């Protein structure tokens, strides 16, 4: 539709400014028609959609080819491509490296990738965001990080740390979140300490107390998680459940001593 309207009016050096203005109006009008209700009904908008789909399919093919190149690289090499440290890698190779890192890298590796995406192609941002959600990173840094990345609001790792702190302050940090990944819990623990946010500290302690005293979450703890919690004073002996149990035992001992005397 747009092409037909453009063909009707041939531009040349003698064309008046009025005719040029009219030509522009026709192009704009045609574009609106293509994407409007009539255009969609007639199928005029499908050409653009098919073109975009073709480009996307070709790119995915390039990414698949690039992924084979990763097989001969070290994990550090792949991580450096994914987080943009390697600035010479192609777009397809970086996309492949992002896929690999988000699926197989550590929590810190994923955070490095997420914090490096400002100004990067949207297709790569979306891959990283999807991979991060799949790993449950949103339980630590909150659910808003995806939009922030797409809007180029994440400049560095500090921005992600601030999002994690705000997520805790907003009451979204749960006990089960602290036992899903030791590295993530340690990262959050250190971020809260550095932030000096009392609200985030209180939220972390509250979630930690529940995590360490509940059998369902306590069984998933490892040494890294214990150390991250203890850095904020959360230890098994100090939890309400254990304190109550300890007091009960002391009362029983005192009762037995009294009856025996």
For the segment 121-164, what is each residue's pLDDT rounded down to a tens digit? 999 999 999 999 999 999 999 999 999 999 999 999 999 999 99
Residues 6, 27: Cα–Cα separation, whole Å: 7
For the segment 33-85, what is each residue's pLDDT rounded down to a tens digit? 455 555 555 555 576 777 888 878 888 889 999 999 999 999 999 999 999 99
Name the DSSP class of 117.
Answer: -
Q: pTM of the predicted model, to two decimals? A: 0.73
Residues 45, 22: Cα–Cα separation, whole Å: 23
The angle subtended at Cα 160 by Cα 63 and Cα 92, nearest 5°, is 10
Contact 161, 189 (CB under 8 A): no
Give percent above pLDDT 70 in the chain: 72
For the segment 7-38, what is each residue's pLDDT rounded down to a tens digit? 434 444 344 444 444 444 443 444 444 555 55
3-state SS assignment for residue 173: coil
């Amino acid at each position: 539709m747009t092409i037909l309207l453009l063909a009707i009016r041939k531009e040349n050096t003698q064309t008046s400014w009025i005719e040029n203005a009219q030509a522009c109006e026709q192009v704009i009008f045609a574009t609106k028609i293509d994407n409007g209700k009539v255009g969609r009904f007639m199928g005029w908008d499908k050409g653009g959609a098919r073109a975009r789909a073709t480009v996307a399919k070709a790119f995915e093919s390039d990414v698949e080819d690039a992924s084979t190149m990763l097989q001969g690289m070290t994990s550090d090499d792949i991580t450096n491509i994914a987080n943009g440290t390697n600035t010479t890698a192609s777009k397809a190779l970086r996309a492949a490296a992002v896929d690999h890192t988000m699926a197989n890298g550590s929590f810190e590796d994923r955070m490095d990738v997420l914090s490096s995406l400002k100004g990067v192609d949207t297709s790569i941002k979306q891959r990283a965001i999807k991979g991060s959600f799949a790993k449950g990173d949103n339980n630590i840094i909150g659910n808003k990080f995806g939009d922030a990345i797409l809007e180029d609001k994440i400049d560095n790792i500090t921005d992600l740390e601030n999002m994690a702190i705000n997520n805790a302050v907003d009451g979204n940090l749960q006990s089960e979140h602290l036992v899903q990944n030791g590295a993530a819990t340690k990262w959050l623990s250190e971020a809260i300490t550095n932030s000096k946010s009392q609200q985030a500290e209180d939220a972390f302690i509250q979630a930690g107390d529940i995590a360490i005293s509940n059998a369902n979450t306590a069984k998933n703890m490892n040494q890294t998680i214990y150390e991250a919690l203890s850095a904020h004073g959360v230890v098994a002996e100090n939890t309400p459940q254990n304190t109550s149990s300890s007091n009960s035992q002391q009362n029983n001992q005192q009762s037995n001593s009294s009856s025996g005397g």
